[in-house]
C-alpha cells in the first residue's frame, strides 16, 4: 500500500470505531439517551474524518462548474440523508464509499505491478569492456553499437548482439514464454531481455539500447493500453451520459411525485402529512444518487483488457492494443502463409531429376543464377552447392516475380524457375511426381532437368489446426505461391479446410480480401512470418507475425506478434482474447444489471441507502476481481 492508501485506511478505521457505537445508539439497540443535537455532533466526527476530502472535492467541482462528478453525488446524497435525520445511513454511505475507493486503488495498483513484473525484461546496466580488458558497469543507454559487453551468469542480456567468446544457456522465457533454455555459442545472436544462465559471454552489440529487442517489446506493451477497444470507448461514452441522466432523474424523483400527490391527492393517504411525503421522496432520490457512481463499470473494462494484454505477453504473445484483442476474439477465418508458418521454411534440396549434366554442375548453375536473391529457396540452392560462388561469372540477372530468375552464367543463358517460367522461355519440361517445390532448369535454351526442394512441416502444425478448430475458427486457409499439388498435400496433411495455390505475392492481398468478404461479420486473421507479406499482414482484419523476434518489418506491420514460431500460439492467442472479452462482457452486463435493478428498486422505495451502497461497492469489488482473472492464461 502506498502512503495515500495507508492514510485512507487509518481514516476509515477511526471513522468505523466512532461510527459503530453511535449507530447502535441511534437505532435504539443500546439504550443510551442522547439529545438530538449531541447525536448529530457526534455523528459528524466519523463523517468528516472519512469524508472531508470528498466534500472538499465536491466544493471545488462546484467552483469549477463541474457538477456531475462522483464526489458531488456522494456529498449531495449523504448531506441530504443527514439533513433528513438519517444520520446513520448518511455516514455509512460515506464510509463504505471510501472502503470501495480504497479497495479499487489497492487492487488496481497490485494488478498493475504484477503485470509489469510479468514484463520485467528491462535491463538495469551493461558491463562495458574497456580496452584494457577490465569492464565497468554503465547505463545500457550509453553503450554504442559495436562495443563489447560482458554478460555474467545470472545477468540479463542488456543489448542485442553477437557472441564473440564463450558459450552458455539462455533463459528466453520472458521474451517467448518458452521455458526450455536456448544454448548459444560463438557467432550466435543473443537478444536483450534473455537471462544468461551458465557461462560468461562476451558479446559485440549490434544495436543501440533503444533499438534492442527488450526496449522495443516494452515500448510495444506500454503503448498497447493506449489503443482503446470499442468496449472501452463505449464505456467512457456511457459514463459521460449515465451520471448526468441519473442526476436529473434523481432531481425529478425528489420533486415530481410529491408535487403530483399534493396536487391530485392521489396516494396522500399513505403519508402522515406533506412533510413525510417530501421526506420519503427526497430520501429515495438520495438513494438514487448513491447508485449513480459509474466507477465500477468504468474501471473493470480497461483493467480486464490490461490484464489480458499482460497475460498474453507473459506467454510470448504481444498484442499491440486492446482493439486488436477485441478483433482477435471475433476471428472466424485464419489465413496462413505456408513457408515459415506451417512449414519450417528451411528448404533442402532432396533430389535432382532428368539432368543431362552432372548434378553438381546443375546445382552450380542454379546457385549462381540465384546468387542475388535472399529467398529461402535460393539459400537452399546455395547450401546444396556448398562452395564459394564467383559472382563475376553471372550477368544480366532478371528476376521475374512468381516465375523465377533468368541470368547469363559464363555467357550461357540459364533459366531457373517454375513451370510458368519454362512456358515463358518456351522450353518443354517434364513433370515431377514428387511433392515439394520443383525448380526447373533450362541451360542454353534446352531443358536441363529439375531440382526437388522439400520443406518440412512444423511439429505442431497439425495440432495447431485442431486447436484452432476447437477454439471456434471455422475456416483455415493456406495461401501459397507453390504448385497446387504441393499445397494440396500440405493442406491434407495438416488438416486445413481450404487452400489457394500458385499465388503471386500481389495476389495474396486480393485473396485475403476475397476471404474477408466471404467471412461475413467474422474477422479474418492472417498469419505470416513477416518476410514478403507485410502488405497482407496490414490488409487483413488482424495480422499475426510469428517467429518475429528480431524482425523489425514484421513487428512493424503486424497487430499481434508471436515471439516464437510455434503455430499453437495462434489458437492460444485467440483463446486468451475470447476469455478476456468474455470477462469484459460479464462485467459490463453484471454491473449494468445490478445498477438498473437498484435504481428501479430505489425509485419504488424498496431499496434503502444500505442496499444502494452495498450494491455499488459490491459490484465494483466483484468486477475488479473478475477482471484480474484475465491475467491467468497459462493453462488456457
Q: Catalytic positions, please?
A: 337
Residues in the chain: 636
Q: Which of 6, 66, 110, 230 binds other proteins (CB under 8 A)?
A: 66
Q: Which of 47, 49, 70, 509 binds other proteins (CB under 8 A)?
A: 70
Collect all residues with Cβ–Cβ distance below 8 Å to 178 and sequence separation of at least 6. Answer: 172, 316, 564, 566
Q: Please, which residue, 240 or 361, has the CB nearer to other proteins?
A: 240
Binding string, 458-497, against other proteins, x = CB under 8 A?
----------------------------------------
| Half-sphere exposure for 459 (CA within 13 Å, toward CB) | 2
Instruction: Please list every residue from 71 through 110 that binds other proteins, using CB under 8 A.
Output: 101, 104-105, 108
* 3 forms part of the interface with other proteins (CB under 8 A): no
Q: Tell me the closest approach of the beta carbon of residue 236 to other proteins, in angstroms.
A: 4
Window contacting other proteins (CB under 8 A); options: 24-32, 223-231, 412-420, 609-617: 223-231
Best CA proximity match to 334, nearest among 105, 134, 570: 570
Instruction: Please list every residue from 289 through 308 that binds other proteins, using CB under 8 A.
Output: 294-295, 298-299, 302-303, 306
Instruction: Please list every residue from 424 through 453 that binds other proteins, using CB under 8 A.
Output: none
Q: Tell me the closest approach of the beta carbon of residue 310 to other proteins, in angstroms.
A: 9
Alpha carbon 394 to its chain's center: 48
C-alpha cell at 423: 512456358
Best CA proximity match to 308, nearest among 107, 582, 53: 582
* 64 forms part of the interface with other proteins (CB under 8 A): yes
C-alpha cell at 188: 550466435
Q: Tell me the closest approach of the beta carbon of residue 1 to other proteins, in angstroms.
A: 14
Q: Which of 124, 210, 222, 498 binds other proteins (CB under 8 A)?
A: 222
Q: Please, which residue, 75 or 461, has the CB nearer to other proteins?
A: 75
99 close to 617: Cβ distance less than 8 angstroms: yes
> What is the end-to-end Cα distance of the chain in Å, rounded?
31
Helices (H) and strands (E) in the chain, counts: 20, 22
Q: Please, which residue, 233 or 506, has the CB nearer to other proteins?
A: 233
Q: Tell me the closest approach of the beta carbon of residue 93 to other proteins, in angstroms.
A: 18
Q: Please, which residue, 4 or 354, has the CB nearer to other proteins?
A: 4
Window contacting other proteins (CB under 8 A); options: 219-227, 346-354, 529-537, 587-595: 219-227
Q: Which of 10, 17, 30, 60 binds other proteins (CB under 8 A)?
A: 60
In this structure, what are the phi and psi dihedrals at residue 633, rounded to the nearest 5 degrees? -125, 5
Q: Tell me the closest approach of the beta carbon of residue 105 to other proteins, in angstroms.
A: 6
Q: Tell me the closest approach of the beta carbon of residue 469 to other proteins, in angstroms.
A: 33
Collect all residues with Cβ–Cβ distance below 8 Å to 242 and sequence separation of at least 6. Answer: 292, 294
Binding string, 247-286, against other proteins, x = CB under 8 A?
----------------------------------------
Query: CA gyration radius for the chain?
Result: 34
- What DSSP assignment string belongs to 395-437? EEEEEETTTEEEEEETTEEEEEE-HHHHHHHT-------SSSE
C-alpha cell at 389: 560462388
| Half-sphere exposure for 9 (CA within 13 Å, toward CB) | 10
CA distance 574 to 570: 6
* 228 forms part of the interface with other proteins (CB under 8 A): yes
| Half-sphere exposure for 476 (CA within 13 Å, toward CB) | 27
Locate the DSSP E strands across 125-166: 126-129, 135-138, 148-151, 161-165
90 close to 81: Cβ distance less than 8 angstroms: yes
Q: Tell me the closest approach of the beta carbon of residue 122 to other proteins, in angstroms.
A: 14
Number of residues in contact with other proteins, rule: CB under 8 A? Answer: 29
Q: Which of 3, 27, 33, 226 binds other proteins (CB under 8 A)?
A: 226
Instruction: Please list every residue from 306 through 345 that binds other proteins, using CB under 8 A.
Output: 306
Q: Please, which residue, 228 or 575, has the CB nearer to other proteins?
A: 228
Q: Please, which residue, 308 or 417, has the CB nearer to other proteins?
A: 308
CA distance 192 to 175: 9
Q: Which of 44, 45, 67, 69 binds other proteins (CB under 8 A)?
A: 69
Q: Please, which residue, 5 or 454, has the CB nearer to other proteins?
A: 5
Distances (CA, A) of 13 to 49, 93, 97, 100, 579: 10, 15, 13, 14, 38
Q: Which of 167, 198, 206, 236 binds other proteins (CB under 8 A)?
A: 236
C-alpha cell at 131: 580496452
Q: Which of 79, 225, 255, 614 binds other proteins (CB under 8 A)?
A: 225
In this structure, what are the phi and psi dihedrals at residue 533, rounded to the nearest 5 degrees? -120, 25
Q: Please, which residue, 237 or 361, has the CB nearer to other proteins?
A: 237
**H or E segment to which residue 525 belongs:** strand 523-528
* 179 forms part of the interface with other proteins (CB under 8 A): no
Q: Please, which residue, 108 or 511, has the CB nearer to other proteins?
A: 108
* 592 forms part of the interface with other proteins (CB under 8 A): no
Binding site for other proteins (CB under 8 A): 4, 56-57, 60, 64, 66, 69-70, 101, 104-105, 108, 112, 222-223, 225-228, 236, 239-240, 294-295, 298-299, 302-303, 306
Amino acid at each position: 500500500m502506498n502512503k495515500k492508501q495507508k492514510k485512507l485506511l487509518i481514516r476509515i478505521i477511526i471513522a468505523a470505531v466512532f461510527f459503530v457505537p453511535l449507530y447502535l445508539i441511534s437505532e435504539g439497540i443500546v439504550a443510551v439517551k442522547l439529545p438530538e443535537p449531541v447525536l448529530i455532533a457526534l455523528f459528524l466526527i466519523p463523517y468528516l474524518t472519512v469524508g472531508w476530502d470528498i466534500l472538499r472535492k465536491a466544493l471545488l467541482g462546484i467552483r469549477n462548474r463541474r457538477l456531475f462528478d462522483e464526489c458531488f453525488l456522494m456529498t449531495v446524497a449523504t448531506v441530504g440523508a443527514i439533513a433528513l435525520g438519517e444520520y446513520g445511513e448518511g455516514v455509512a454511505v460515506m464510509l463504505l464509499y471510501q472502503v470501495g475507493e480504497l479497495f479499487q486503488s489497492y487492487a488496481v495498483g497490485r494488478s498493475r505491478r504484477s503485470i509489469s513484473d510479468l514484463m520485467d525484461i528491462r535491463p538495469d546496466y551493461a558491463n562495458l569492456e574497456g580496452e584494457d580488458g577490465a569492464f565497468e558497469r554503465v547505463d545500457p543507454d550509453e553503450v554504442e553499437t559495436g562495443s563489447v559487453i560482458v554478460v555474467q551468469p545470472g545477468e540479463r542480456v542488456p543489448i542485442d548482439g553477437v557472441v564473440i567468446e564463450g558459450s552458455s544457456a539462455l533463459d528466453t522465457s520472458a521474451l517467448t514464454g518458452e521455458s526450455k533454455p536456448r544454448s548459444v555459442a560463438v557467432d550466435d545472436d543473443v537478444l536483450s531481455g534473455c537471462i544468461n544462465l551458465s557461462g560468461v559471454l562476451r558479446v559485440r552489440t549490434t544495436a543501440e539500447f533503444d533499438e534492442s529487442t527488450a526496449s522495443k517489446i516494452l515500448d510495444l506493451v506500454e503503448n498497447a493500453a493506449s489503443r482503446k477497444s470499442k468496449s472501452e470507448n463505449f464505456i467512457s461514452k456511457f459514463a459521460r451520459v449515465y451520471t448526468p441522466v441519473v442526476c436529473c432523474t434523481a432531481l425529478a424523483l425528489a420533486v415530481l411525485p410529491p408535487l403530483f400527490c399534493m396536487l391530485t391527492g392521489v396516494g396522500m393517504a399513505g403519508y402522515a402529512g406533506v412533510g413525510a411525503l417530501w421526506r420519503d421522496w427526497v430520501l429515495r432520490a438520495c438513494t438514487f444518487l448513491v447508485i449513480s457512481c459509474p466507477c465500477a463499470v468504468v474501471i473493470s473494462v480497461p483493467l480486464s483488457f490490461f490484464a489480458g494484454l499482460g497475460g498474453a505477453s507473459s506467454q510470448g504473445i504481444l498484442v499491440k492494443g486492446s482493439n486488436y484483442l477485441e478483433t482477435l476474439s471475433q476471428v472466424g477465418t485464419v489465413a496462413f502463409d505456408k513457408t515459415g508458418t506451417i512449414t519450417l521454411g528451411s528448404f533442402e534440396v532432396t533430389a535432382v531429376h532428368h539432368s543431362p549434366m552432372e548434378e553438381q554442375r546443375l546445382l552450380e548453375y542454379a546457385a549462381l543464377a540465384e546468387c542475388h536473391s535472399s529467398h529461402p529457396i535460393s539459400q537452399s540452392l546455395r547450401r546444396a552447392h556448398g562452395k564459394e560462388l564467383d559472382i563475376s561469372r553471372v550477368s544480366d540477372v532478371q528476376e521475374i516475380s512468381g516465375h523465377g530468375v533468368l541470368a547469363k552464367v559464363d555467357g550461357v543463358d540459364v533459366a531457373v524457375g517454375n513451370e510458368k517460367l519454362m512456358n515463358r522461355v518456351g522450353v518443354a519440361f517434364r513433370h515431377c511426381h514428387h511433392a515439394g517445390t520443383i525448380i526447373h532448369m533450362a541451360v542454353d535454351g534446352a531443358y536441363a532437368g529439375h531440382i526437388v526442394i522439400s520443406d518440412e512441416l512444423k511439429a505442431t502444425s497439425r495440432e495447431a489446426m485442431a486447436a484452432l478448430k476447437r477454439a471456434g475458427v471455422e475456416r483455415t486457409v493456406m495461401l501459397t505461391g507453390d504448385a497446387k499439388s504441393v499445397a494440396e498435400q500440405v493442406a491434407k496433411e495438416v488438416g486445413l479446410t481450404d487452400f489457394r495455390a500458385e499465388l503471386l505475392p500481389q495476389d495474396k492481398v486480393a485473396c485475403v480480401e476475397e476471404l474477408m468478404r466471404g467471412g461475413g461479420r467474422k474477422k479474418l486473421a492472417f498469419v505470416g512470418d513477416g518476410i514478403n507479406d507485410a502488405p497482407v499482414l496490414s490488409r487483413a482484419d488482424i495480422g499475426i507475425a510469428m517467429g518475429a523476434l528480431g524482425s523489425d518489418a514484421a513487428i512493424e506491420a503486424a497487430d499481434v506478434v508471436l515471439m516464437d514460431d510455434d503455430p499453437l500460439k495462434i489458437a492460444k492467442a485467440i483463446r486468451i482474447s475470447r476469455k478476456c472479452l468474455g470477462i469484459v462482457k460479464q462485467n459490463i452486463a453484471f454491473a449494468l444489471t445490478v445498477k438498473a435493478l437498484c435504481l428501479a428498486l430505489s425509485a419504488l422505495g424498496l431499496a434503502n441507502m444500505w442496499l444502494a451502497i452495498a450494491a455499488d461497492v459490491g459490484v465494483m469489488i466483484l468486477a475488479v476481481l473478475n477482471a484480474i482473472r484475465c491475467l491467468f492464461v497459462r493453462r488456457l
